[in-house]
Amino acid sequence: TVKWGLNGASTIARQFMINAIRAQPNSEIAAVMSSSPERATAYAKENGIALAVSTLDALLGSDIDAVYISTTNELHLEQALAAIKAGKHVLCEKPLALTSADARTMVAAAKAAGLVLGTNHHLRNAGAHRAMREAIASGRIGKPIAARVFHSVYLPENLQGWRITRPEAGGGVVLDITVHDADTLRFVLGDDPLEVTAFTQSAGMAAGGLEDGAMCIWRFKSGVIAQSHEGFTTKFAGTGFEVHGSEGSLIAKDVMTQKPIGSVLLRTAQGEEELSFDREDLYVRSLRQFHAAIGGEGQPSATGEDGVWSLTSAEAALQSARSGKSVAIDPNL
């Protein structure tokens, strides 16, 4: 049995991850930590978790094997390093940290300790994205030329907190959504980005100098160019992911989401074909892969290194938006 400690009484754990952990055959949630004792107790009660604690030491001192970190972004580094030091495997939310240098420190610590570190980039687990990756790898669109990612949403009211008010907590749409898009592009294309140019905006929701919209242009090693649009303020945009190649195009709709929904269309000289793909819960699959990795089989669906890549990419996008220049992406791994 893998005994989990939840580090953070968060929305994402309540909405998706508690279920994903409990969906695994040999798995239990042993404890939850919140910085507030009252919130910890209430959260534990609401979610049927036996132990509620309000310090990291108490969480790491309890009988657990792995820690799921879903606190605000500025806390991930310190909490992950402490968990690793205590000999726990770590599944950490994105962005792994506030800087790529800190994320590399986390990866190095886990490696030195022989522990599994995963980044919770859920979209890699989506059947739609895996179907696109397979179609591209098996040559169904010929040589990939360009990609377009549509991931501008409306931030739900219950999440209109630190993301739009607290730069020091790692708020802003780039650390929130661009990291996912950078990771999903890498995964679907099977390619790494070399450089990015970005514009950001504050369209009326985010405060404190934070951005709530971004458009990025990415150049990949193979020569593919990609564009991605991330936002918190567009209510009616819908999401999508397209890859256009010399022999065909993949056009996916409603796939930049937490749910196993959407469609993938392959268009070639032969006509149009809807690709079928599995509809498993993204987070359940993420947890299964993570458990397998703990058992010595394979790797988490997104590794710590993948988290370094996505954060380096987001960091470069922010730097580009500030400087008005294209910025090279080098994860230094």
Residues lying near ligand NDP in the complex (CB under 6 A) are found at 8-12, 34-36, 39, 70-73, 93-94, 120, 122, 159, 161, 176, 258
Q: Which two tokens stand for residue 296?
A: 């010595």
Shortest reach from residue 70's CB to ligand NDP, in Å: 4
Shortest reach from residue 40's CB to ligand NDP, in Å: 7
How many whole angstroms separate alpha carbon 33 and alpha carbon 54?
5
Closer Cβ to ligand NDP, 120 or 197, answer by number = 120
Q: Which two tokens stand for residue 302?
A: 């997104």
Cα-trace Rg, the chain? 19
Q: DSSP string spanning 193-241?
A: EEEEEEEEE--SS--TT--SEEEEEEEETTS-EEEEEEESB-SS---EE
Shortest reach from residue 256's CB to ligand NDP, in Å: 11
Shortest reach from residue 87's CB to ligand NDP, in Å: 22
Shortest reach from residue 176's CB to ligand NDP, in Å: 6
Spell out where 13-135 has E strands: 27-33, 51-53, 66-69, 89-92, 117-119
Please state whether beta strands 240-245 and 248-253 pair in parallel, antiparallel, or not at all (unpaired).
Answer: antiparallel
Tokens 């980039």 -> residue: 121
Closer Cβ to ligand NDP, 103 or 251, answer by number = 103
Closer Cβ to ligand NDP, 224 or 302, answer by number = 302
Shortest reach from residue 169's CB to ligand NDP, in Å: 9
Closer Cβ to ligand NDP, 258 or 299, answer by number = 258
Whether the CB-CB separation of 164 and 210 falls below 8 Å is answered with yes
How many whole angstroms separate alpha carbon 317 and alpha carbon 134?
28
Closer Cβ to ligand NDP, 27 or 34, answer by number = 34
Closer Cβ to ligand NDP, 39 or 244, answer by number = 39
For residue 45, give every residue at least 6 positions away whose Cβ sits within 8 Å of its Cβ, in sequence order, or none.
Answer: 52
Closer Cβ to ligand NDP, 35 or 276, answer by number = 35
Shortest reach from residue 39's CB to ligand NDP, in Å: 5
Q: Which of 231, 229, 121, 129 is nearest to 179 (CA)?
A: 121
Whether the CB-CB separation of 60 and 35 falls below 8 Å is answered with no
